[in-house]
Chains A and B, each alone.
Chain A
Amino acid sequence: MTVPLDYEILRLAWWALLGLVLIGFAVMDGFDMGVAILLPVVARTDTERRVVINSIGPVWDGNQVWLILGGGAAFAAWPPLYATAFSAFYIPLLLVLAALILRPVGFDFRNKVEHRHWRTWWDWALFLGGFVPTLVFGVAMGNLLIGVPFHFTSELRAIYTGGFLFDLLQPFPLLCGLVSLAMLVMHGGTFLVLKTEGVIETRARRAVLLGAVALVGLFTFAGALVATIIDGHLVVSGLPGDGPSNPLLKKVTVDAGGWLANYVEYPWMLAAPLLGVFGPLVTALLTVMRRSGWAFVSSAAAVFGVVSTTGLALFPFILPSSTNPSHGLTVWDASSSPLTLFIMLIATVVVLPIVASYTVFVYRVLRGKVTAAHIESGGHMY
């Protein structure tokens, strides 16, 4: 079957779509991970904790599908990326998995036994279920920017040459992990302000301000490091937009500050980092002004800005290699075949709006604050 779209356009579309799905994950599952991180801080008594847990109880599961979809989209549209990144980040992903395994069970099991230790244990499990993925995904983003130690054999087997875990925990990636934590503390906070009242709402408001300020500082600092000492990668030759998906055919050079090249060439892209800096400030302002709904929207925009800043800086790279830069994966040599990209594009363009519309329906049904009185009245509540 011939595909009615250029390979280049398909690859570009899938780069954008993967970005969209990952941002969808950071915005949707991001707020409930942020809420989980805030659980021990904003809620002290059992009823308070139940209010917080029930504020995300009915929706976290649907939100987590954004992550599943991200994994699936990487597998289907960028198989070399999925294969290389997942096997290189073996132990970090194991940590994420362990945390994510605790999450669904934590939500469902916690309230089913009335014992203090049982509940305290699940509270911590839920906290880790939010904290660990947030930190690890941030660290992973940081590792993308400094490059991951891998190369390919002639039969395109990816060989990861880094160590067990600590190679991936260098200072810059850890800084990015903190950016991620601050971002989701702010984002989860804005959701809690919307969904709770009284003392929890007050504490959540404080968390938003703290997260927003920390995010601006950390994000700016990370940006300054990228501009000065972090090596950026630049494709020199051998990379046509419609060439075969074989990462062995190009030449890449490395240059400190090189990740800013796209921003110099296409100044409109600066909108992303600007959103990353001003989004949190506006969020803080709106929270102080008690415009909770708009604060949540603004926080989501900040998340969009922070995540897309990294994606745009890396372009056309999607997984740079630190040990063999020419083997780094790019949009132009690490995708699926045109037919797979085309079919998946059609499916996504048709189905994703349907998903969005029933998600809106569900949130409309569940609108309004979760209150202590509501929790204590019984019914099915976590």
Chain B
Amino acid sequence: MTELGVVELSRLQFALTAMYHFLFVPLTLGLAWLLAVMESIWVMTGREVWRDMTKFWGKLFGINFAMGVATGITMEFQFGTNWAYYSHFVGDIFGAPLALEGLTAFFLESTFVGLFFFGWDKLRPPIHLLVTWLVALGSSLSAMWILVANAWMQNPVGSAFNPDTMRMELTSLGEVFFNPVAQAKFVHTVSGGYVTGAMFVLSISAWFLLRGRHVDFAKRSFAVAAAFGMAASLSSVVLGDESGYVASENQKMKIAAMEAMWETEPAPAGFTVFGIPDQETHQTHAEIKIPWALGLIATRSVSDPVLGIRELVEINERRVRSGILAIDALERLRADRDDAQARQTIARHAGDLGFGLLLRRYVDDPRRATPDQIRAAANDTVPRVAPLFWAFRIMVACGFWFIALFAMALWVSTKRAFGKRWVLWLALFSLPLPWVANEVGWFVAEFGRQPWTVDGVLPTFLSVSSVGTTQVWTSLAVFVVFYSALLVADLYLLIKYIRKGPALTPEPPASLSRRASAQALVAEE
């Protein structure tokens, strides 16, 4: 039996390093496009302030980008170092999008990012602009492949179990790529990144405006961020994640847990705005519900029920029993590789193999499991409800706030009402919120998938490497020390360069400047 300590430590390490990595990724995703937009305006209008903007925000982009690259390598290595059985079991499918990410996206982004910084004097403006666009394209493409890989963990399509190699193998790349969860996740996650980039520029510009520094520069940056952030926050919320859940049988437990829906309710189910979920008694106290809302969101119909946790556990108990048959047949096949009957049984029950493997927490040989153990394994398929319930609501609240804030910011910049200082203050204080939303969003996605690494296929506690706790403690300690020190250096440099402000190219005469800025404003609108 795998030692429990390694499982928990490896999970902790993965959560820490992944969430830390994702402090930097969304800002890279969003800022890259904002740089592309700013530089495009420079190339089209020839006004130097737009190049100054590209360079100033580009410098902050560079500091953040370095942190993203530094922390990203950890992620790729970690599957092999800490999750070796996972890597063996699903590498045939999961490895492909990771390799394709390196090949088609990360090469593009990393090769051209050097030219973005070093190429200002070596490239003609349109070529440099092309380089900037390629960096932005590369970073979003990169996100796409990673989300294709992650979506397969949430909704493992296009694959089948092969008893000869004891692993999942690819049956259709098309299904993996066009996984509905992948499509929804991609739009949702990169939109979250674009919101982050927009908020970063908006907040810092608001700070410049509140201090009365670099006013012309800050107003333009504010306007670009407001428009970009408006589109991004709408896309993130409206084209949110739910659409992906519809097609996904396995995600039903996650939805039920996020909603603290203990029982199946008559369709269409209500959406619980507030409540205190209690895992022990399977009840939610002090509920406030909006009738119909959840049923409409989750099933897009008024007649299909949303299944509750208790009913899902009953279904899963049947799947655990079916999984035992698959495990039994695998044992027979191991004794006699030509046992045709065993192969047939495996083919019929392979879809539930993972549920049978859940028993390995209680008994080394799942074929000897008692009814109590089977029930316990089925109960294990319920993730912890309260953290998911609350994390989801925090994310949604942030999402709606972003729409409201960017709407106000857009109004301020189009009406040139920069005197409304309270909007600027709101923008400044909202700076951390996109990071909060991004992190709790990933928490819902990953914690909500527990007890699985691949939903319904491979339990988390079986996915780890056969390493000792000493090794994992060592690596965990190294990451905590390195990452903390780097975060201090990163924030120090960001604050230093923000305080220093942009290096502005001298303005042309005042009359000319006013006319040109009016033109630029028309272009923005």
Contacts and interface: CB of A to CB of B under 8 A. Distances in A.
Interface of A: 1, 57-62, 64-65, 67-69, 71-77, 79-80, 82-87, 89-91, 93-94, 97-98, 100-105, 107-109, 112-113, 154-160, 164, 244-246, 336-337, 339-340, 343-344, 347-348, 351-352, 355, 358-359, 362, 365-366, 379-381
Nearest to B465: A87
Contact of B122 (A67, A85, A366): A366
B475 A71 contact: no
- Of the listed residues B79, B80, B117, the one surrounded by the most CB atoms of chain A closer than 10 A to its CB is B80
Contacts of A347: 100, 103-104
A365 B470 CA distance: 48
A73 B88 contact: no
Closest 6 CB pairs of A and B: A86-B80, A79-B91, A76-B95, A58-B114, A72-B99, A75-B95
A97 B483 CA distance: 12
B176 to A, nearest CB: 10
Contacts of A104: 65-67, 69-70
30 contacts: A1-B171, A57-B114, A61-B111, A61-B114, A64-B110, A69-B102, A69-B106, A71-B76, A71-B80, A76-B91, A82-B79, A83-B91, A90-B81, A90-B471, A93-B77, A100-B70, A105-B67, A109-B66, A157-B85, A158-B88, A160-B467, A246-B164, A337-B92, A337-B170, A348-B103, A365-B123, A366-B114, A366-B118, A380-B55, A380-B118
Given A72-B76, A83-B80, A340 B92 contact: yes
A355 B107 contact: yes
Contacts of A76: 91-92, 95-96, 98-99
B446 interface: no
Nearest to A70: B102
A159 B73 contact: no
B101 A72 contact: yes
B429 interface: no
Contacts of A355: 103, 107-108, 111
Contacts of B166: 155-156, 246
B120 A105 contact: no
Nearest to B468: A164
B281 interface: no
Contacts of B118: 57-58, 366, 380-381
B98 A100 contact: no
A94 B169 contact: no
Nearest to B66: A108
B88 A80 contact: yes
Given A245-B165, A379-B120, A105 B489 contact: yes
Contact of A93 (B81, B112, B171): B81
B408 interface: no
B76 A65 contact: no
Nearest to A359: B111
A75 B111 contact: no
Interface in B488-507: 489-490, 493, 496-497
B85 A109 contact: no
Nearest to A336: B92
B280 interface: no
B172 to A, nearest CB: 7
Contacts of B84: 83-84, 86-87, 157-158
Given A68-B102, A75-B87, A86-B87, A340 B73 contact: no
Given A244-B164, A340-B92, A362 B114 contact: yes
B contact face: mostly helix, strand, loop, or mixed? helix
A83 B467 CA distance: 12
Contacts of B82: 87
B512 to A, nearest CB: 27
A61 B85 CA distance: 31
Nearest to B90: A79
A101 B76 CA distance: 13
A169 B15 CA distance: 31
Nearest to B331: A154
A80 B88 CA distance: 5
Contacts of A359: 107, 111
A107 B114 CA distance: 11
Interface of B: 55, 59, 62-63, 65-67, 69-71, 73-74, 76-77, 79-82, 84-85, 87-88, 90-96, 98-104, 106-108, 110-115, 117-123, 162, 164-167, 169-173, 334, 465-467, 470-471, 474-475, 478, 482, 486, 489-490, 493, 496-497
Nearest to B334: A154
A380 B80 contact: no
B120 A77 contact: no
Nearest to B59: A380
Contacts of B471: 90-91, 164
Contacts of A58: 114-115, 117-119
A242 to B, nearest CB: 12
Contacts of A358: 108, 111-112
A362 B119 CA distance: 9
A336 B91 contact: yes
A154 B330 CA distance: 11
Given A90-B465, A90-B475, A107 B93 contact: no
A62 B96 contact: no
Contact of A98 (B66, B90, B478): B478
Contacts of A98: 478, 482
B167 A156 contact: yes
Contacts of B496: 112-113
A355 B162 CA distance: 35
A59 B114 contact: yes
Nearest to A150: B466
A325 B119 CA distance: 53
A68 B66 contact: no
Contact of A352 (B65, B66, B103, B117): B103
A348 B96 CA distance: 11
A159 B103 contact: no
A328 to B, nearest CB: 15
A278 B226 CA distance: 62
B32 to A, nearest CB: 14
Contacts of A160: 466-467
B77 A72 contact: no
Nearest to A156: B166
A65 B63 contact: no
Contacts of A83: 80, 84-85, 87-88, 91, 465
B466 A157 contact: yes
Contacts of A245: 165
B301 to A, nearest CB: 34
Which among B67, B170, B470 has the greatest number of chain A C-beta atoms within 10 A?
B170
B112 A65 contact: no
Contacts of A343: 96, 170, 173
B113 A61 contact: yes
B103 A101 contact: no
A61 to B, nearest CB: 4
A235 to B, nearest CB: 18
B61 to A, nearest CB: 10
Nearest to A246: B165
Nearest to B475: A94
Contacts of A352: 103
Nearest to A108: B66
